[in-house]
């Protein structure tokens, strides 16, 4: 299914689900406000519905956002009922928890049964909608309306591969009417097939095809008013995702191995800004106390500044509470033989340059607090690969390791919650960073932040 079709389908389902969640909230209230039920169960009367109607302002943006973060709208159309139920259950549970937290902080008195029934009813209504949608698509009417009929054109190997992909992933949505080898079949034959079968479109496989014939086929379909899908598989890539864009009206194929720009990336930036600002305000007094302790216990500046490699390797100045002697960097070359990391990174478990206070600051990641300013400035993110010194990045022997620079560095990452300094091989470190990049989502960031809290509080994995 084309991305535009998936987007339209997702938006329609989001509007439907939003209406069903709103209906579930009203039904939950009506059920609780039923006088017969109140008398039967001995419940006290509930306030008028208009008292709680403002909660729709919370449900309207939250509902589609939470379900989309769960992957509810990106699952296959005919996925298993178990998968649908599980994703929907997690979404309903999270929305109900958001509702409970909102009521707690706003001090609004609403019966607990309303929240419970809201979660149950919303799950039931949306799941019933999904079942009706499944029945409709599998019916004769639905199959006819949604099935697309195509002619495949390209090389023989290319069209065979396309047919296999359509049969495997199409779930019966596509019907192949004919296959044409552009390198062997004259263009008039393709036009005759279009007249004979009246297809919805032509899919062109361009690999190993002559571009003049591809261009001529597109021109012929253009005159016939038949839609053409060009499979841009003429370049082999290993991990890059391909997307189509335009540059001042010129069509572009974009190959990217980093997360693409999306509303989730916009929300990530806002989360970074709001989280860093709130944390700086909350930690302002503790940070002042730490600064005083550093000043009293060792000579030198309170803050340590160093050039680190940021997004795409762009250098920036990172800020940390000083945990070492002032001339620590000058003595690093003398300690190179003691390096416990395999790779270009330098780490020693019991570094003699660390001050007694600095060892405690490092154990509980207190030394990282000033980096909230880097996050506030947009140089770092709350979650992302840890930034390395510029000189260590220059020593990368495997160029594939530089892909960890394709996203903003962060305060915490998968490495942070997977043992920190117990991960001794730099290749394992990079593997965790690339796993994060390849599977990035806003939900993954939230999970990493949540798992970071106990790791930092207990000093797990620090040395």
**Does the pLDDT at position 379 exceed 70?**
yes
Same structural domain, 110 and 228: no
Q: Is residue 252 assigned to a domain? A: no
| Res 9 pLDDT > 90 | no
Looking at residue 45, its pLDDT comes to 67
C-alpha angle 251/255/258, rounded to 5°?
130
Q: Which pLDDT score, from 0 to 100, does residue 449 have?
A: 92
The residue from 140, 161, 176 where one domain ends is: 140
- pLDDT of 28 strictly over 90: no
Last residue of one domain, picked from the residues 140, 155, 188: 140
Q: What is the pLDDT, as a whole number, of residue 180?
A: 87
Strands 241-247 and 250-256: antiparallel
Question: Are 427 and 279 in the same domain?
Answer: yes
* 410-435: average pLDDT: 79
Of the candidates 46, 54, 14, the residue with the CA atom closest to the CA atom of residue 28: 46
The answer to whether position 374 is within a domain reads yes
pLDDT number for residue 363: 85
Q: Do 126 and 42 fall into the same domain?
A: yes
Mean pLDDT along residues 111-130: 88
Whether 255 maps to a domain, the answer reads no
Residue 292 included in any domain: yes
d(CA 258, CA 208): 28
Q: Are residues 131 and 171 in the same domain?
A: no
Provide the sign of the torsion angle of the four alpha carbons 84, 90, 94, 97, taken in this order.
Answer: positive
Can you tell me the mean pLDDT for 255-284?
A: 88
**Do residues 160 and 133 both lie within one domain?**
no
The pLDDT mean for the chain works out to 82
Q: What percent of the chain has pLDDT over 70?
A: 84
Residue 243 in domain: no
Band of pLDDT at residue 183, cut at 50, 70 and 90: confident
Domain check: are 86 and 185 in the same one?
Answer: no
- State which residues form the domain around 154: 147-234
Q: What would the pLDDT profile of 153-163 be if each residue is shown by its tens digit?
A: 888 888 888 88
DSSP state of 329: G
Q: Residue 375 and residue 83: Cα distance in Å, rounded?
A: 37
CB 95 within 8 A of CB 123: no
Distance separating alpha carbons of residues 65 and 198, to the nearest angstrom:
40
Query: 104 and 210: one domain?
Result: no
Query: In this predicted structure, which of 137-141, 240-244, 284-288 has the lowest mean pLDDT?
Result: 137-141
pTM of the model: 0.65
pLDDT at 383: 94
Could you tell me if 57 and 178 lie in one domain?
no
Residues 126 and 8 in one domain: yes
Give the whole-angstrom CA distance, residue 167 versus residue 179.
14
Residue 34 has pLDDT above 80, yes or no: no
Least Cα distance to 68 among 147, 116, 15 occurs for 15
Burial of residue 226 (CB within 10 Å: 0-12, 13-18, 19+) is middle
- Within a domain: residue 250? no
Specify the range with the lowest mean pLDDT, choosing from 74-78, 85-89, 364-368.
74-78
Confidence at residue 343, expressed as pLDDT on a 0 to 100 scale: 63
Q: Looking at 19-28, 170-179, 273-282, which range is the least confident one?
A: 170-179
The segment with the largest mean pLDDT, out of 9-18, 91-100, 281-290, 434-443, is 281-290
Of the residues 87, 119, 140, the one at which a domain ends: 140
Is 103 found in the same domain as 72? Answer: yes
The reply to whether 211 and 277 lie within a common domain is no
DSSP strand pairing (227-231 vs 201-205): parallel
The whole-number pLDDT of residue 115 equals 84
- Longest alpha-carbon distance in the chain: 89
Question: Residue 33 region, left (φ>0) first, then alpha (ψ -120 to 50), else beta?
Answer: alpha
| Choice between 38 and 434, residue whose per-residue pLDDT is larger | 434
Structure tokens given for 274: 């709001």
Higher pLDDT, 302 or 457: 302
* pLDDT over threshold 80, residue 189: yes
Q: How far apart are CA 463 and CA 442, in angstroms?
A: 30
Q: Residue 88 corresponds to which tokens in the numbers above?
A: 């929907």
> Chain centroid to CA 401: how far?
21
Top-confidence residue, 163 or 307: 307
In the chain, the number of structural domains is 3
**Model confidence over 395-421: pLDDT tens digits?**
887 777 888 888 999 999 888 787 665
CATH code of residue 184? 3.40.50.280
Q: What is the structure's pLDDT at 461?
A: 53
Evaluate whether residue 253 is within a structural domain.
Answer: no
Per-residue pLDDT band for 289 (boundaries 50, 70, 90) equals very high
Q: Are residues 270 and 392 in the same domain?
A: yes
- Would residue 245 count as lying in a domain? no
pLDDT at 39: 62
Q: Report pLDDT digits (tens) over 308-361.
A: 999 888 999 999 999 887 766 666 665 665 665 666 666 666 767 788 888 888
Which band of pLDDT confidence, cut at 50, 70 and 90, is reported for residue 146? Answer: low
pLDDT for 224 beyond 60:
yes
What span, in angstroms and rounded, lies between the C-alpha atoms of 80 and 215? 41
Q: What percent of the chain has pLDDT over 90?
A: 20
């Amino acid at each position: 299914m084309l991305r535009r079709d998936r987007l339209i389908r997702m938006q329609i389902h989001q509007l439907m689900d939003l209406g069903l969640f709103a209906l579930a909230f009203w039904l939950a209230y009506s059920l609780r406000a039923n006088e017969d039920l109140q008398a039967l169960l001995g419940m006290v009367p509930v306030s008028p519905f208009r008292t709680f109607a403002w909660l729709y302002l919370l449900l309207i943006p939250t509902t589609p956002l939470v379900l989309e973060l769960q992957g509810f709208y990106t699952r296959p159309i005919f996925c298993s009922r178990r998968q649908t139920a599980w994703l929907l259950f997690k979404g309903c549970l999270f929305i109900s928890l958001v509702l409970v937290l909102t009521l707690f902080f706003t001090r609004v008195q609403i019966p607990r049964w309303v929240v419970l029934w809201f979660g149950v009813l919303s799950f039931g209504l949306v799941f019933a909608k999904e079942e009706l949608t499944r029945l409709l698509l599998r019916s004769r009417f639905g199959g006819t309306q949604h099935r697309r009929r195509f002619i495949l054109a390209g090389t023989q190997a290319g069209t065979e591969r396309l047919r296999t992909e359509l049969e495997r992933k199409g779930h019966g949505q596509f019907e192949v009417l004919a296959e044409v080898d552009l390198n062997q079949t004259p263009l008039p034959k393709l036009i005759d097939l279009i007249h004979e079968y009246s297809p919805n479109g032509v899919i062109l496989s361009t690999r190993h095809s002559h571009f003049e014939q591809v261009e001529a086929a597109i021109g012929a379909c253009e005159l016939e008013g038949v839609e053409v899908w060009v499979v841009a598989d003429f370049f082999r890539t290993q991990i890059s995702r391909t997307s189509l864009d335009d540059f001042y009206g010129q069509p572009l194929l974009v190959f990217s191995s980093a997360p693409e720009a999306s509303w989730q990336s916009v929300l990530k930036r806002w989360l970074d800004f709001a989280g860093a600002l709130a944390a700086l305000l909350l930690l302002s007094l503790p940070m002042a106390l730490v600064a005083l302790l550093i000043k009293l216990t060792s000579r030198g500046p309170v803050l340590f500044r160093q050039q680190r490699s940021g997004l795409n390797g762009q250098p920036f100045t990172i800020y940390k509470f000083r945990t070492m002697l002032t001339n620590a960097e000058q003595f690093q070359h003398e300690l190179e033989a003691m390096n416990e990391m395999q790779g270009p990174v330098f780490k020693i478990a019991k570094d003699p340059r660390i001050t007694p206070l600095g060892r405690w600051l490092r154990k509980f990641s207190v030394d990282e607090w000033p980096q909230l300013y880097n996050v506030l400035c947009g140089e770092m993110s709350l979650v992302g690969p840890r930034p390395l010194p510029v000189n260590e990045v220059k020593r990368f022997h495997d160029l594939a390791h530089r892909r960890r620079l394709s996203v903003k560095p962060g305060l915490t990452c998968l490495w942070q919650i997977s043992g920190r300094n117990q991960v001794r091989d730099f290749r394992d470190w990079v593997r965790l960073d690339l796993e994060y990049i390849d599977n990035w989502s806003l939900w993954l960031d939230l999970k990493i932040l949540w798992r970071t809290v106990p790791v930092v509080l207990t000093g797990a994995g620090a040395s």
